[in-house]
Amino acid sequence: MSSLESVTITVNLGGSGNFTNIQPAIDSCVSGDTILVYPGTYYENIDFSGKNISIASLELSTGNPAYRDSTIIDGNNNGSCVKAVSYENNARIYGFTITHGSGWSFEQNGAMITIGGGFLIKSNTNFQILNCIIKENRVSSSGGGIYIFQSTMRMSNTQIYNNYAAGSGGGIIFTMDSNCLFDSAQRCSIYENYAGHMNDIGASEVGGVINIILDTFTVNPPTAYYSNYVYLFSAGAGYFTYDILNAYRTEVNHDLYVSPSGNDYNDGLSPSNPLKTITKALHAIASDSLGQKTIHLARGTYSSADGQIYPLSLKANVHLVGDSLSYPIILNQHYEQTIVGGYAPETTVKNMIIEHGTNQPIVLWFMNHCNNSRISNITINPVHAITYAGLFLYQGDYSLENIRLNGLISNCLSGFRYFGASGSARNITIDNCHTIGNEDLPLSDLVSASLDSTLILENIVIINSSVFSPESSIIKITTNQLQNPQVRLTNLLVANNTTTANSPVYISMNSIYTSAISNCTFANNVGGASILKLSGRLNISNCLLSNGG
């Protein structure tokens, strides 16, 4: 239908329009039509359904911006508020508040993942978001406010704030060759969103330049903690440019203090005037490579039932340290992830007990590209996580020391994993931990490493644990074939563990250097045809192998 034949369809909750809900109006219209929505709260999850239409509040016809506050699409935590996923071209939405979206869901590694809380935009050309407020949407993975995939879009005079993504891109995330034209005259604002990493804006596998033009951003100039452009699976040449007029806040270049009895209206600069929420402190503190700062956690329980926000999004050059005499308890009873570090070098996490009550998180602890990071004096108490219950350490250099994992269960990881990473793990106890995923789920060893540099395992106890997948081992160490890494195993006790078919300990070192296994005991492990399956240049000394027979 041509624009000369387009019609305007009205939606009014009171019954005086053509429809009382937005989706039936969409279903009735054709490309080129306009849907004019009267004020009210519409508890809907709308889909443009491949139609190149305009959906607008009365702000479009009157010019009154108050209509964007009073005309609300409330997703009712029942999916994305707005979907445009069917090759729309120049479709637009104008003058709404978009809130309480929970994203489109799909299954991954046994977990239900959600993306695109406010908007899910896929396979679109020039999708337009104009004069809108996008707030208080949340997802378990990426794109709390907006998730855009293989699409181009335009945004003007829109605010994106107080959205949440447990993974990345709390405000907006661009994926797979997507881009956005930000209006330089009627500027948007993006601020105070929350995520595991890339709190406000993220880009992954995009491949081009995205010019971020805003009135207000959380901080100015932006840092990678709030806005980052990354490549996880390929080497790309894209990047962000920034033209930002204002900062929502100024970070504090000072140690901060947090207590369960504190108050987020305090300045947090002393133990006598502490903040209450750890996430507030992480967002407030400055990342200073020349003068690293510490967030001091007082003793007590930091519960999500008492206002704590998880995951804790680790920040570069910031140390998160609990009271050394009485370790604080990190109690995540509600959120899908607990601790995340993304592109955050020189971080420390120290002196904590991690608990979850009856919560089954998807991912407990994940860090990527966090060079020279140190994790010590940590106890993780029994939890049944869906995908990862242990520590997943991806591409970086990590030091683990004095870690106790007790009663962890998950599909893919219930110990710790160095993936494309290096470092050391010393004084670790893994007791009664079980990886229960089958062969259809990837990377389901209890302790594993895919190395591109040196890994030292020293004083490790792994007992009474198991893996279910026939391809999995209690310990599996392999190499990145482009590198020549080494591994040194010293003083390990691996006993009373069970595998389904594979050897309990599998080490394959494709390296010109010699690795070493010394002073280790492997006893009473049940699994494959051999206790150990080894290949490569290995020096084995003073080890005890016993399977009771």
Q: How far is CA 25 from CA 37, 97, 105, 234, 271, in A?
A: 10, 19, 25, 42, 57
Backbone φ and ψ of 108, nearest 5°: -145, 120
Residue 470 confidence (pLDDT): 87
To 5 degrees, how large is the angle CA 136–CA 277–CA 417? 90
Contacts of 34 (CB under 8 A, 6+ apart): 6, 7, 8, 9, 53, 54, 55, 56, 60
Q: Is the distance from CB of 160 to CB of 145 less than 8 angstroms?
A: yes
Kind of pairing, strands 538-541 and 312-314?
unpaired
Please state, in angstroms and rounded to a whole number, the distance separating the CA atoms of residues 276 and 266: 8
Please state, in angstroms and rounded to a whole number, the distance separating the CA atoms of residues 159 and 156: 9
Residue 522 confidence (pLDDT): 96
Task: Give the start-to-end residue ranges of the domains of the chain.
Answer: 3-247, 382-546
pLDDT digits (tens, 9 = 90+) for 377-403: 999 999 999 999 999 999 999 999 999
Count the neighbouring beta carbons within 10 Å of the beta carbon of residue 90: 15
Chain-centre distance for alpha carbon 304: 17
Residue 430 confidence (pLDDT): 99
Backbone φ and ψ of 28, nearest 5°: -85, -15
Q: Which of 388, 515, 500 is nearest to 447 (CA)?
A: 388
428: β partners: 403, 460
Please state, in angstroms and rounded to a whole number, the distance separating the CA atoms of residues 437 and 275: 40
Q: Determine the topology of domain 3-247 in CATH.
A: Pectate Lyase C-like (2.160.20)
Count the neighbouring beta carbons within 10 Å of the beta carbon of residue 529: 8
Mean pLDDT rounded to a whole number for the chain: 95
Low-confidence residues of the chain, pLDDT below 70?
1-5, 232-237, 438-443, 481-482, 548-549
Residue 3 confidence (pLDDT): 47
pLDDT digits (tens, 9 = 90+) for 122-133: 999 999 999 999
Residue 109 confidence (pLDDT): 84
Q: DSSP string covering 224-269, please?
A: TTTEEEE-SSS----EEEEEEEEES---B-S-EEE-TT--TTS--S
Q: How far is CA 7 from CA 23, 86, 357, in A?
A: 16, 22, 55
